[in-house]
């Protein structure tokens, strides 16, 4: 009897301990997000008040107008937001198409040099962007793509990780379906377009979300290539906004909220594929 009560006491203590750790971590993780949202609705004087009031007195919507307008009133925020959306979408589309096509070629066809190509692509995955960034800068500048959409997009048309991911996914694709389509007289391109693409949707969505997110986050490359404010993207915009000495804190958080909206929408709509990126990856190697 006593042993059993002891065990029960231990398990209660364990539950409390677990929730204590989870609770502290929840505060650490969610606190800053709540801060961003509440501060975006406060005038600057309230954001920096001690102690911080987690609930705004009144909703100070002017912050959002200030964020959209910018400190100089030239609406670069809107322009840069459009740039980010356009660049990230374009890169996502090309990445998804090229990764699937290449992954399909590597997974379902036998040809001389296939193993070498696979090895080359896996090796490419290891290269940190900082290594190739300077040569890429020289190439794009020589091609006259500096400060243009082409310059922002071209170096990222497809990436090795995407090809690897789609190849791993398509390895499990049943050959019988492909052969059935061939017997029905479908050409290889038709099979790819009508059979492989539609039935790879979960992997494609995962890759798409991953690519879009990476590009939405990209600061390094636009920093090099987009000189004029018209061509800059959102990460650069926020960096510049924070640099300006007279930026007020409320407006800065309003900018942060607005800049996060596309990701929030994507996350709420496709959270399965957001999390799926991590899952798929661990399933490959684990």
Nearer to another protein, 62 or 260 (CB): 260
At closest approach, how far in Å is the CB of 98 from another protein?
5
Examine residue 87 and tell whether it contacts another protein (CB under 8 A): no
Site for another protein contains 131 (CB under 8 A): yes
Q: How far apart are CA 152 and CA 143, in angstroms?
A: 13
Region near another protein per CB under 8 A, out of 60-68, 69-77, 150-158, 197-205? 150-158
What residues numbered 221-240 form the site for another protein, per CB under 8 A?
A: 223-224, 234-235, 238-239
Of 78 and 177, which CB lies nearer to another protein in the complex structure?
177
Please list every residue from 45 through 84 that binds another protein, using CB under 8 A.
47-52
Interface with another protein (CB under 8 A), residue from 122, 150, 256, 270: 256
Number of residues that bind another protein (CB under 8 A): 99
Residue 152 binds another protein (CB under 8 A):
no
Question: In the complex, what is the shortest distance from the CB of residue 179 to another protein, in angstroms, rounded to a whole number?
Answer: 4
Does the protein bind another protein through residue 181 (CB under 8 A)?
A: no
**Is residue 160 near another protein by the rule CB under 8 A?**
yes
State yes or no: residue 138 binds another protein (CB under 8 A).
Answer: yes
Using CB under 8 A as the binding rule, whether residue 185 contacts another protein is answered as no
Q: How far apart are CA 246 and CA 248, in angstroms?
A: 6
């Amino acid at each position: 009897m006593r042993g059993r009560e002891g065990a029960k006491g231990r398990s209660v203590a364990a539950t409390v301990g677990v929730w204590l750790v989870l609770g502290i971590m929840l505060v650490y993780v969610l606190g800053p997000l709540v801060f961003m949202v509440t501060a975006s609705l406060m005038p600057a004087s309230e954001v920096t008040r001690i102690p911080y009031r987690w609930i705004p007195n009144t909703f100070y919507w002017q912050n959002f107008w200030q964020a959209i307008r910018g400190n100089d009133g030239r609406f670069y925020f809107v322009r840069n937001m459009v740039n980010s959306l356009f660049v990230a979408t374009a890169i996502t589309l090309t990445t998804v198409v090229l990764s699937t096509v290449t992954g399909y070629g590597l997974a379902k066809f036998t040809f001389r040099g296939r193993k070498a190509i696979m090895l080359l692509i896996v090796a490419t995955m290891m290269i940190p962007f900082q290594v190739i960034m300077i040569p890429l800068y020289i190439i794009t500048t020589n091609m006259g793509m500096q400060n243009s959409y082409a310059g922002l997009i071209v170096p990222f048309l497809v990436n090795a990780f995407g090809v690897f991911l789609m190849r791993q996914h398509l390895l499990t694709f049943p050959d019988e379906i492909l052969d059935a389509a061939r017997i029905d007289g479908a050409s290889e391109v038709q099979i790819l377009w009508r059979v492989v693409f539609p039935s790879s949707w979960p992997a494609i969505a995962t890759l798409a979300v991953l690519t879009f997110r990476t590009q939405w986050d990209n600061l390094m490359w636009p920093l090099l290539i987009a000189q004029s404010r018209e061509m800059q993207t959102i990460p650069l915009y926020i960096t510049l906004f924070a640099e300006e000495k007279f930026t007020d804190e409320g407006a800065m958080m309003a900018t942060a909220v607005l800049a996060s909206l596309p990701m929030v929408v994507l996350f709420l709509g496709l959270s399965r594929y957001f999390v799926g990126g991590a899952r798929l990856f661990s399933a490959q190697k684990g």
